[in-house]
A and B are shown apart, each in its own frame.
Chain A
Amino acid sequence: MAEESSASTRRRLTPFNVIAGIIVIIGLYVTVRRFTSGLSSVTHLSNSYPWGLWIAFDLLVGVALAAGGYVTSAAVYIFGMKRYHAAVRPAILTGFLGYALVVLALNYDVGRPWRLPYPFVISRGTTSLLFEVAACVALYLTVLFVEFSPAAMEWLGLKKARNLVVKLTMALTILGVILSTLHQSSLGALFLIAPSKLHPLWYSPYIHVYFFVTSTIAGLSMVIFEGSLSHHYFKDKMDAEHLAAKTDLMLGFGKAAAWVLAGYFVIKVIGIAADNNWHYLATGYGAWYLVELLGFVALPAMTYAIGVREKNTTIIRWSAVWAVLGIVVNRFNVCLVAFNWYLPAEERYFPHWMEVAISVFVVTLGLLAFRFIVTRMPILYAHPDYETH
């Protein structure tokens, strides 16, 4: 008995669990500190930088990377690409967890979590873009929860409720695409209010279009990236359909990502021409802009295309990682690097280590929740008692 207990403890003490445990403890400590001593005790936010790492990474990057849900469900249910059906549940789960963690992280930035429903019931700022973002994120999180719920209901054996929700699939998918289109672009449109603060190379009257287009790139790339990780770590949980769909999915989504990246490259160059910003390219910020445009847009477009052409899933996988990194770079540039670009170095924002700790804490919670759900619910396999929908 004692030996069994010792073996069980050893199984639980994996490097991942130990590191995750340490991160969770640090995260809980910073959480208590943030909600008892205020923003100034854990952040470097100021009047010049009211939005820091928590908005740039946890919200802007988080929402973009959670776009896989609407991209995949639209491809399968609206455009009828049933061959990608195996990717729907993992993508919906990633999207649901992504949005849930965005809302969680937003509480750290905004504070007073009990006031989260205020925009809807107390102070309705219906002319504000933030109101639209809040409404869309709240509604889309609900939509994702309902879209995800059949997997949980199959696990819990709630057959009637599961069959009822499955009938709503098409309506939920359409609602998800509408809500995503609205708020993915609105997050970019938030910066339309600050044309004098954002560097001219990143500011554009079309910034909302850029944010929406990049969200589809993020969604496609995240599905490939998350699929590759699941295939590596949860292969034993996958059924034959999921295992067989892997290559087809990577080639199809890789092709779509290459095409959207190429289109995005074109509209970005046209954006420079429309504002006549060519001269800024010869500055330091221009060099960094070119790194983003050539290194994180043109390069993954080409490598995706080469990977698809050569049917090389390794190239596609690394292109997805690079494209996801490109989304992170873009959101950081818009929200932090190119924001208040004219300020002297000593007045620029650099995140406090506790801000970084909370962001890592939130990502770790997402990974732990993903593992908990995938190892218990029919996400990477079809439940034998239910028909696929």
Chain B
Amino acid sequence: METIHTLQQFMLHTKNIIYILIVLALAAMPAFWCFLTGRDEE
């Protein structure tokens, strides 16, 4: 991993990872909701 020297590099690095995590969460949360409520009608 590239060493972080500046605030710019730190923000770029952390924001990159957060954006990836948000995309994963946006995919996972509806899936979890479907799992949670999947048998509500029964």
Which residues of chain A have a CB within 8 Å of any CB of chain B?
A: 255, 258-259, 262-263, 266, 269-270, 273-276, 301, 305, 308-311
Contacts and interface: CB of A to CB of B under 8 A. Distances in A.
Given A255-B36, A269-B21, A274-B18, 8 more contacts: A258-B32, A259-B32, A266-B28, A266-B29, A270-B18, A270-B21, A273-B21, A305-B36
Interface string B26-42: 00110011011111000
B14 A273 contact: yes
A305 B32 CA distance: 8
B21 A305 contact: no
Nearest to A259: B36
Nearest to B25: A266
Contact of A305 (B17, B25, B35): B35
A255 B40 CA distance: 11
- The SS class assigned to the B binding surface is helix
Given A273-B17, A276-B14, A308 B36 contact: yes
A258 B35 CA distance: 11
A262 B39 contact: no
Interface of B: 4, 10, 13-14, 17-18, 21-22, 25, 28-29, 32-33, 35-39
Contact of B36 (A258, A263, A266, A269): A258
B18 to A, nearest CB: 5
Nearest to B19: A273
A262 B26 CA distance: 12
Contacts of A275: 14
A274 B36 contact: no
Contact of B35 (A263, A266, A309): A309
A276 B12 CA distance: 11
Contacts of A263: 29
A354 to B, nearest CB: 45
Contacts of B38: 309
A274 B14 contact: yes
15 contacts: A255-B37, A258-B32, A259-B33, A262-B32, A263-B29, A269-B21, A270-B18, A270-B21, A273-B18, A276-B4, A305-B35, A308-B36, A309-B35, A309-B36, A309-B39
Contacts of B22: 270
Contacts of A270: 18, 21-22, 25
Nearest to A275: B14
A200 to B, nearest CB: 13
Contacts of A305: 32, 35-36
